[in-house]
Structure 1
Amino acid sequence: MRAVICTKYGNPEALKIEKIDKPKPKSNEILVKIFATAVTSSDTYIRRLNVLPMFMQVIAGIFLGFGKPRNPVLGMIVSGEVEEIGDRVTRFKKGDKVFGTTVINSIKMNFGTYADYKCLPEYSNISFKPINMDYIETASIAYGGSMALWCIEKIGFPHKNTNSAEGLKVLIYGASGSVGTALVQLTKSFGADVTGVCSTSNSEFVKSLGASRTIDYKREDFTNKGEKWDYIFDAVGYKKSKKYCKNYKRALMPNGRFHSVDNGSPKFNVEIFDFIKELAEKEALKSVVDRTYSLEQIVEAHSYVDQGHKRGNVIIKVNI
C-alpha cells in the first residue's frame, strides 16, 4: 500500500511516498481503509521538531523518536470505512463508515493515517461518520471539532443544550483556522454572542459561521477596546499569540475565563466524537475546507499549512 514516510525532521520535502506492507488487524483491532485525512498544525509541528530549542527536541524525542519519528507514517485524522475486523471486535463490523483520531493524548500518539490503510484498536477515539457528510467533510470536522470541544470542556463553558450559553459573550482569537472555525460554530450553537478575531479578509467568512462581529488583529488590540467578554478562547496557541493575547485579563469579565489550545495536554475520548457526530447531524457544526490535495501532493499540502494562514482545514484525499 502507499504511505507517506517522514524520513527526518525538517521541511516538507522530508515527506516521501513509499510502498509498505498492508497491515493485518489483531484480534482486538479494525482495519480502516482511509478515504480522507487532514494536515493539521500538530502534524506540521511534529515534522518540524528540528526547529525547536534543543531541550525541547530532547523531550519530544523521548516520546516521538530522535532524528526522525519512531513511527514514520504521520497523520492523525481518520475518515474511512472498516474493511476488516479482528475476531474479538464487537463494536464495529465490516463496511462501517467511521471517523476520528489516532491520538489519545499528547503522550499516546499513534499516527499513521497518511496511508491507504490503518489498523486501530476497537476502542480508539473513533465514531460513526455523520450521515449528512461525505468523507472529506467528515475529515474536516475531526481535528477542529475535537480540539474545540476539549477547550470548551476544559474551561467549563456551558454546552449541554442550545440555550445553555445564552447571554454570554465569547471572543475567539484565531477564528478562521481549524479550531477557531469550530469554536465559532459551537459556542454560537450553544447560545453565546460570538466575536471573532481574524484578518479583515476573513471577516465575512467568520461572520457566516456565526460570529456577530469581528476584530482585525492587525489593526485593533481587543484588550484595549474597553470591552469585556465572559470567555476568551485562543485558538492559535499562546506561543504564537502571546504578542496579541498577553493582556487578555483586562478584556475579561469579573470571573471570566481564558483558555489557549496549547494550555495543557488535550485528552480525547469516544464520547467527544459521538458528540461531534450528533452536532454535525444537527448542522451545529459544518465542514470548513480550505484546500484539498491528493496523497501524492503531501509536500505541497504541508508547505501550504506551514504558511500559517489556512482557512479552516486542509484535506488529503487518499482513496477518493
Structure 2
Amino acid sequence: MSRRTRPAAFAALCLALAGGSTAYVLQERADTQERISSPPSVPVATSPAAAEGPVLVFRHTGVDQEYGVVATVPLADPSGPRSFTGVVCDRVDATATTRSCLRTGRGVVTSYDALVLDADWEETGSAPLPGLPSRTRLSPDGSLVATTAFVSGHSYLTRGFSTATEVRRVGGASYGNLEEFALEIDGEPAAPRDRNVWGVTFADDDRIFYATVGTRGRTYLVRGDLVERTLETVADDVECPSLSPDGTRIAFKQADGRGSGRRWTPAVLDLATGERTVLSGEERNVDDQLAWLDDDTVLYGVPRPDEPGVSDVWSLDTDPDAEPELLVEQAWSPGVVR
C-alpha cells in the first residue's frame, strides 16, 4: 500500500476546488505540493516502542507526506509523539490482535477494499467493498469485523442513498448483507424495500451486535443476532451506535432537522432504562460514529471548517453539561486499543 496515494488525491481535490486565474492555480499547485511533501507538523515518535501498550489508533489528516496514514499514540499521552504504521486507510478500527482498514484505491478505475491486518499491521486478508467506505468495527477480541459502504450517494444527506453493511468472521465466512436479516419493528415483522443498515457495534465476540436501521424516513437502534439472523428495534432516532466498554450504554449521534439543514448531536442511551442524555455541550455538527475512551468519555472526529481534508479528534465526558476537549489534532476515525 502506497502512502503517496492520499496526498496526491488531496492535491487533485485542492486544485479542482481552486478558482481564479491560471497564475493563481499554478501558485495553488506549488503551495499544495510543498505542503504534501513536507514532514508532519505534529510530534513524531523516533522509536516504535512509543506505540507499545494501550494506544489510540487513528487516521492522520495533516496535509503532509503522511496524509491518510494510520498512526498511534499512547493512551497515556494522546497529544504526544505519534507513530506511523505506513498503512493508508479511509476508516480504521483496531484491537490488540487485529486491525480493520477501509481504503479507496484511485486509478483509471476507482476501487474500494476492506483489509484485515495483524498486530504488526501486516495484511492477512481483504475483500472488495461495493462503494465508498463509511464505517468499520471489530468485536472486542478481533474475531468479527463489520464494514459499511455507500453503494450510491456519498452521505446520509443524499436523497436515495443506499448502504451495504456486512459482518464476517476474520479469516472465515461472511454473514452476508445485514439487510437480508429478518427485521422486526416494534415487535412486528417488517420487510420495507427501502431499508438500510449501518454503524455496527459488537456486544460480544460470537453473535450479538447493535446497528442502525433506516427506513421510511426514520432511524432505529436494532439488536442483531448473527446466529438467528435477526434484527429487532430497541429505540427510535439512534444513528451510528457505539456500545460502552461496560456494555450498559449506547453512544450515538442524534439528528436535528432534515435534508441539508440536518445536524447531528452526540447522545447516550441507557439500555436498561431507556433514558437518553443529549450531550449538548457539543454545539458543532458531529457526523461520526463515536468511540469510547473509557466508561465516561466518548471520542469523535470533527472536520476543520477552514482547512479542507483536515480534522481533529475530540473527547467529551458523558455528563450533559460537559464541554468538548481537543484530544488529538490532525486525526480522524479514532479507535482505542486497551
TM-score class normalised by the smaller sequence: 0.3 to 0.5
Between 1 and 2, higher relative CO (CA 8 Å, sep ≥ 6) is seen in 1
**Bigger helix fraction:** 1
Q: Give the number of the structure whose residues are more often strand, by fraction.
A: 2
TM-score (norm 1): 0.32
